Amino acid sequence: MKHIAAVLLAFAAMCGGAQAAPSACGVLRNAVAQSPSGPVFLPSFPQEKDGPLHNTAFLYDNAVATIALVGCGNAKEATRIGDAMLAALDHDRYWHDGRLRNGYAAGHADNPVKLAGWWDKKQNRWVEDQYQAGSDTGNMAWAMLALLSLKEAKYRSGAIRIAHWVDTQFDARPPQGFMGGTFGDQPKPTRNRWKSTEHNTDLAAAFTQLADVTKDVHWQDRAKTASAFVAAMWDEKCGCFDAGMAEDSKAHNTTLALDAQIWPLLALPRDAARRAAILKMLQQSFTTNGGMAYSAQKDGVWTEGTLQAVLLMKLLGKPAQAIALMAAAQKNRTPDGWYRAADRKTSTGFDLQTDLKQHRAYFPIPALAPLAWAALAEQGFNPFIGTKTLP
């Protein structure tokens, strides 16, 4: 018991208690306080000065930040981001069907709510990122989780509106589940017909919470469908989850992605044998430089994923592993308390939909998502169920 207590004290110190830098909760709270008054989206990459990431507020990042603020005991600050999501539902420049965009312009949520963009000198015109203009179902799920974490009727109503749009992405082709959403701007974005393990994990958690608060069995059925899809992605031989299904819903995407392994353990009840298999596979396939990589290529420490693993280990009662992983994440912390997205340019192994010649990547720049996950790890707060426990 003394050893466990000492380890927990060390973990608390590593999360900020014994450092000059403020806690992740404090940095996140200050980011909201320093923003324009009223409904606000936080910038995902606050130091970027131009290009597609400048002044961009990704919906997922802001949703995780909202839940983290709730977990930190800062619900007042969290509601300002929640209010921005509601404003985006009501005041999109085109859509009024319950969908949100993948990204917005950071700052005050105006009417209409603006999308981020930049002046392209080669084209001599203003351009917007087509991924940001689209709507991933996984990001919709995170927005639902964020709104439901705020506990008020207006936010619950917003979550229901989003859920009805997600319902339009249901795919009856076996294994049944929810497709990726849309890519591109109005009026005719491309429909992503692939199905993602990560997205369906998010949706299973969001639909479960929605069913709990509405007592509507439809959402419970949808939660079961999304959860069953995730289960169908289990590869017994690998001891891992495949990334999802291809566009034709016939071939598995066998790409190994870290969040597709960790998130089901945080979001969905799992038997002990499967949990043990995943933990073994994480150690073998993702561990690098003391932290976690995004993919099995292990080309760098992905800070956000490393912090997700910290939270998982903490909730599993494995404080020594949590401390070791936190030490790796802390190496990517900036003097002002933010976290760099990675320790170097890190490939995900997935195609960049705006340029299929490139893979999506993370860069060694300060980012909102790892800061929010650091706050969740500090608090031991599970964003998928809104408690300090596993399902």
Which domain covers residue 324, as residue numbers?
2-379
Helix H segments across 13-121? 24-33, 59-71, 75-90
Q: Which of 204, 194, 232, 199 is nearest to 351 (CA)?
A: 194
Q: Which two tokens stand for residue 124?
A: 């001599």
In a domain, 385, yes or no: no
Does 190 reside within a domain? yes
Within a domain: 343: yes
Asked if the structure places residue 106 within a domain, the reply is: yes
> Is there a domain that residue 132 lies in?
yes
Considering only CA atoms, which of 100, 104, 172 is closest in space to residue 141?
A: 100
d(CA 12, CA 175): 43
- pLDDT exceeds cutoff 60 at 163: yes
pLDDT at 1 over 60: no
- Residue 22: the pLDDT is 85
Of 349, 163, 343, nearest to 260 (Cα)?
349
Mean pLDDT value across residues 109-134: 93
Pairing of strands 339-340, 56-58: unpaired
Model confidence at 389: pLDDT above 70: yes
The band of 245, judged by pLDDT with boundaries at 50, 70 and 90, is: very high
Query: Distance (Å, rounded) from C-alpha 246 to C-alpha 177?
Result: 12
pLDDT at 111 over 70: yes
Residue 20: predicted pLDDT: 58
Q: Which helix (H) or strand (E) holds 345?
A: none
Q: What is the mean pLDDT of the chain?
A: 92
> How large a percentage of the chain has pLDDT more than 70?
92
Over range 106-131, report the average pLDDT: 93
For residue 128 the two structure tokens come to 């917007």
User: Residue 306: is it exposed, middle or buried by C-beta count within 10 angstroms (0-12/13-18/19+)?
Assistant: buried
CATH of the domain at 232: 1.50.10.10
Q: What is the mean pLDDT of residues 272-301?
A: 93
Residue 355 — pLDDT band, cuts 50, 70, 90?
A: low
pLDDT at 192 exceeding the cut of 80: yes
Number of domains in the chain: 1
389 lies in a domain?
no
CA distance 259 to 268: 13
Residues 244 and 253 sit within 8 Å (Cβ to Cβ): yes
Residue 129 has pLDDT above 50, yes or no: yes
- Residue spans of alpha helices (H) in 135-214: 137-149, 153-167, 197-214
Asked if residue 264 is part of any domain, the answer here is: yes
Residue type, 185: D
Confidence of residue 122 (pLDDT cuts 50, 70, 90): confident
User: What pTM value is reported for the model?
Assistant: 0.93
- Residue 387 domain-assigned (yes or no): no
